Amino acid sequence: MNLFYMFLQTAAFVLVWTLVHRHVASHGPVAVARKAVMLNSWFYSLASAVLLGLMFVPQYEHAARRIYHLSKFYEYVDVLGVRAGGGEIELHFAVHHLTTPYLTYVRVLYYSQGWKAVAAPNAFHHVLMYAYFGGVGALRSVLPVTGTIQLLLGLGGEAWLLWKKTVDGEQPLWPHEFAVSLFGVYFVLWLRELRQKASIKGKVAKFKSA
Q: pLDDT at position 3, please? A: 83
12-22: burial string, b at 16+ Cβ within 10 Å, e else: ebeeebeebee
Q: pLDDT at position 43, please? A: 96
Q: pLDDT at position 210, please? A: 52
Residue 207 pLDDT > 70, yes or no?
no
Least confident among 26-30, 34-38, 139-143, 199-203: 199-203
Q: In degrees, to the nearest 5, what angle opens at C-alpha 130 toward C-alphas 180 and 75?
A: 60
Closest by alpha carbon to 78, among 104, 106, 107, 48? Answer: 48
Domain tally, the chain: 1
How confident is the model over 85-132, as pLDDT tens digits? 999 999 999 999 999 999 999 999 999 999 998 899 999 999 999 999
Q: pLDDT at position 203, please? A: 57
User: By residue range, what is the domain housing residue 148?
Assistant: 3-209
Closest by alpha carbon to 45, among 117, 144, 136? Answer: 136
Other C-beta atoms closer than 10 Å to the C-beta of 26 total 7
Q: What is the mean pLDDT of the chain?
A: 92
Mean pLDDT of 56-77: 94
Residues 117, 152: contact at Cβ < 8 Å?
Answer: no
Share of the chain above pLDDT 90, in %: 87
Specify the 3-state DSSP secondary structure of 85: coil
